[in-house]
């Protein structure tokens, strides 16, 4: 049974700029630290995988001392856990209020895969509750049929391949039997490190990134109001304005041999 594995942020919905970023900033204001990540500054923070890990970049010795924050490892771990819980609560509320629309074609393609007997999953290192909120918003009741691999299920966040290796193991499929939809170079690196064929749908922060190793690069999966446009098609799949399940089958069949990194 083949598997279709979606990343979450940037793939199911374009959540980073107007979802995660304001949730981080509101949390910083709530806990009383003078940090506000601009659109440009947050683009740099996205180079760090994981929300707690992004927050941890603030905890330099000078910053911690100036604002009376813990300087020991255990204290900082507990602080980051508290901050991240606050941030996740704000973010999930924002998503459930419907303020960020799902990306075009996600529900349609997921429905086609499920109807064809494919396994469908999300693999993300965002918090589980955040991923579930975005997934339910993006695909509705179909979310109950998705497997979710998220949060701190693995020690190393993307671009490490660990979350995708976990997904393959739990789904019981080989890398050649699955295709991933990602939106960033970091996510592409993680998927390819697990030997997975990868389709990229670029998002607001990632359009200019390097996707040389992707099997297909698109503006989106395609919907009535926003047709898919091909950015790169190295396999010669030549999809139409609505990406179909047959296009994803072609990616699995035509992509070169796996290039999995050693575990």
Query: Could you tell me which residues come within 8 angstroms of residue 82 by beta carbon, excluding any fewer than 6 positions away?
Result: 31
Q: Is 7 a catalytic residue?
A: yes
Taking phi first (over 0 means left), then psi (-120 to 50 degrees means alpha), and beta for anything else, what does residue 180 get?
A: beta
Catalytic, 18? Answer no
* The token pair that represents 76 in the structure block: 């900082």
Helix (H) or strand (E) holding 198: strand 197-201
Q: Are 231 and 247 in contact (CB under 8 A)?
A: no
Q: Which of 7, 14, 183, 247 is catalytic?
A: 7
Catalytic residue, chosen from 9, 162, 183, 247, is 9
In whole angstroms, give the CA distance from residue 168 to residue 191: 11
Evaluate the CA torsion angle 205, 186, 130, 25 in order and state its sign. Answer: negative
Active site residues: 7, 9
């Amino acid at each position: 049974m083949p598997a279709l594995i979606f990343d979450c942020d940037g793939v199911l919905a374009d959540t980073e700029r107007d979802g995660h970023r304001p949730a981080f900033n509101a949390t910083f204001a709530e806990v009383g630290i003078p940090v506000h990540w601009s659109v440009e500054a947050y683009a740099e923070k996205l180079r760090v995988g994981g929300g707690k890990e992004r927050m941890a970049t603030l905890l330099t010795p000078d910053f911690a001392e100036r604002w009376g924050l813990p300087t020991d490892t255990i204290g900082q771990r507990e602080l980051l856990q508290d901050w991240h819980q606050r941030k996740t609560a704000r973010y999930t509320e924002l998503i459930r209020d419907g303020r960020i629309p799902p990306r075009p074609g996600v529900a349609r393609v997921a429905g086609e895969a499920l109807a064809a007997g494919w396994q469908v999953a999300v693999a993300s290192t965002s918090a589980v509750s955040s991923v579930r909120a975005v997934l339910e918003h993006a695909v509705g009741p179909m979310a109950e049929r998705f497997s979710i691999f998220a949060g701190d299920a693995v020690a190393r966040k993307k671009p490490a391949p660990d979350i995708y290796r976990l997904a393959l193991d739990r789904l019981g499929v080989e890398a050649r039997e699955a295709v991933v939809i990602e939106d960033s170079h970091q996510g592409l690196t993680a998927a390819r490190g697990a030997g997975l064929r990868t389709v990229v749908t670029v998002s607001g922060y990632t359009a200019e990134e390097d996707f040389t190793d992707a099997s297909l690069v698109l503006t989106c999966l395609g919907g009535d109001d926003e047709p898919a446009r091909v950015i790169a098609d190295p396999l010669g799949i030549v999809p139409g304005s609505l990406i179909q399940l047959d296009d994803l089958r072609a990616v699995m069949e035509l992509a070169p041999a796996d290039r999995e990194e050693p575990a």
